[in-house]
Amino acid sequence: MDDISNVSKITEPVQKRILAKIAAAHPEINVSEAGHLHVPVDSLTAVMRDLKENFGFDYLSNVTAVDYLEYMNVVYDLCRVGTPYMLHIIVRIDRENPVVPSMVPLWGGALWQEREIYDLLGVIFTKHPDLRRILLDDTWEDHPLRRDYQWMSGRD
C-alpha cells in the first residue's frame, strides 16, 4: 500500500485500487457501485483488524447507525491518517436482535460513539467495556431515534 503513503490529493484510480485489493483479500465483502464496503456481521472484527493492521486504515473517524424499519445498518468510516483516502463500511443487522461486535478493542475512540448508538438506537455492542446510556437519563425507556418511537410533544 506504499503507493498511497505520500499523496495529498484524492485520486479515483488509487481509491479503486485500494477497494479492489480489499475485495480480493476478503471475498465475503460486497463492494457497492458507490464504493461502500458491505461487510457481513460475522466477519466484521476480522475485516476491521486486517484493514487496520495490513491496509493502514488506522483511524476510526465515525460510527453511526441507521434504522430502516425492516433492518438496521451500522456504519463505520475509516481513514488513513496523512492521506485523503477513506472507507465507508456498512454492516446490516437484524432490527429485532441488533448485535454487533464492539470496535473498542481496536479503536479506543469508539467507546463513546458506541454508547451513543446504544442509547439512541438500541444497538448492542458485544464486548463493549461500559455499555451505558450516554445522552439520556439512565432511567429512560426505549431508544428514541428508532423510527417507530412514540413520544409526547411538549406543546399544549
Q: Which residues bind other proteins (CB under 8 A)?
A: 135-137, 144, 149, 151-156
Residues 6+ apart with CB under 8 A from 90: 36, 37, 38, 39, 73, 74, 75, 76
Cβ proximity to other proteins, 34 vs 152, nearer residue: 152
Kindly give, in sequence order, each residue whose CB lies less than 8 Å from that of residue 155, ignoring residues fewer than 6 positions away: none
Residue 70 or 138: the one with the smaller Cβ distance to other proteins is: 138
CA atoms within 13 Å, Cβ hemisphere of 44: 22
Give min distance, CB of 25 to other proteins, in A.
Answer: 43
Grid cell locating 139: 432511567
Query: Cβ closer to other proteins: 71 or 149?
Result: 149
Smallest distance from other proteins to CB 153, Å? 4
Q: How far is the CB of 112 from other proteins (least distance, A)?
A: 16
Q: What is the DSSP string of 118-142?
A: HHHH--EEET-TT---SSS-TT--S
Least Å from the CB of residue 143 to other proteins = 11
Closer residue to other proteins (CB): 24 or 152: 152
